[in-house]
Amino acid sequence: MQLSTMTKPKRHSSKERQRVPTRSCVGCGERTEQRELVRIVLGPDGGLLPDLGGGAFGRGAWVHVSPSCFKKAAQRGFARSFRTAVDCDLPVLFALLADGADRRIAGLLSAAVSARHAATGADAAKDAVIGGKSELCIVARDAAATATLDYVQRCIADGRAIAWGTKQILGLACGRDEIAIVALLDNRLGREIRRAEMISRLGGMSAQPMEDR
């Protein structure tokens, strides 16, 4: 086999692939992998609450991370799923989702740093990316200069980079002052953060068009 035919490392272990949980989106009705959906529960006061960990008690309704699916769910899906009239204020729900997702990303980053699964700062991140160890780079939104660096541009082109937070917020999550970039070295954490970042973006995109999901 030639070197050029080498394949990328496997994304999922065979165990993970065996039984992937699926759910139906209460917006569009499509059945899909659970991790592409977000769980919404009915709070004690009748309001809707995001359950980003997926483990809250009570009946849950699953929705694609997409404004159009949330709009459909608000029109009919939630009421049908919870079998009661639901007062759904979408901007409020989006804000709760964004807030919860941002806190989840910060928590996952903090866990990644503690477990030495993160290379923080431009030099360490560059080494990780060039060494092929980085699954995902998180670039602070106010780190414009860092985003133009060659290795970061390559990550963006490969779909291995996301923009999130500010240098200060990224630093805070990693127990440092300010950080422009973090390279994640762990596949599972990378997937979790990528998912949370999609949910975080819901908060800011209720008023604007977006790519599907």
Give the binding site for Zn ion (CB under 5 A).
25, 27-28, 64, 69
In a 3-state reduction of DSSP, which class is residue 160? coil
Q: In the complex, what is the shortest distance from the CB of residue 11 to Zn ion, in angstroms, rounded to a whole number?
A: 23
Q: What CA–CA distances, in Å, run from 55 to 20, 52, 61, 140?
A: 17, 8, 12, 30
Q: In the complex, what is the shortest distance from the CB of residue 84 to Zn ion, in angstroms, rounded to a whole number?
A: 21
**Residue 71 is inside which H or E element, if any?**
helix 67-72
| Alpha helices (H) in 39-134, listed in sequence order | 67-72, 78-82, 90-114, 122-130
Q: In the complex, what is the shortest distance from the CB of residue 85 to Zn ion, in angstroms, rounded to a whole number?
A: 21
Looking at the Cβ atoms of 67 and 190, the one nearer to Zn ion is: 67
Q: In the complex, what is the shortest distance from the CB of residue 22 to Zn ion, in angstroms, rounded to a whole number?
A: 13
Distance of CA 97 to the CA centre of its chain: 11
Looking at the Cβ atoms of 11 and 213, the one nearer to Zn ion is: 213
Q: Which amino acid type is present at position 6?
A: M
Per-residue burial over 168-179, b = 16 or more CB atoms within 10 Å of its CB, e = otherwise: ebbbbbbeeebb
Looking at the Cβ atoms of 25 and 74, the one nearer to Zn ion is: 25
Looking at the Cβ atoms of 72 and 160, the one nearer to Zn ion is: 72
Q: In the complex, what is the shortest distance from the CB of residue 31 to Zn ion, in angstroms, rounded to a whole number?
A: 10
Looking at the Cβ atoms of 45 and 212, the one nearer to Zn ion is: 212
d(CA 157, CA 100) in angstroms, rounded, equals: 28
Q: In the complex, what is the shortest distance from the CB of residue 69 to Zn ion, in angstroms, rounded to a whole number?
A: 3
21 touches 9 (CB < 8 A): no
| Alpha helices (H) in 115-186, listed in sequence order | 122-130, 144-147, 150-157, 167-173
Looking at the Cβ atoms of 69 and 170, the one nearer to Zn ion is: 69
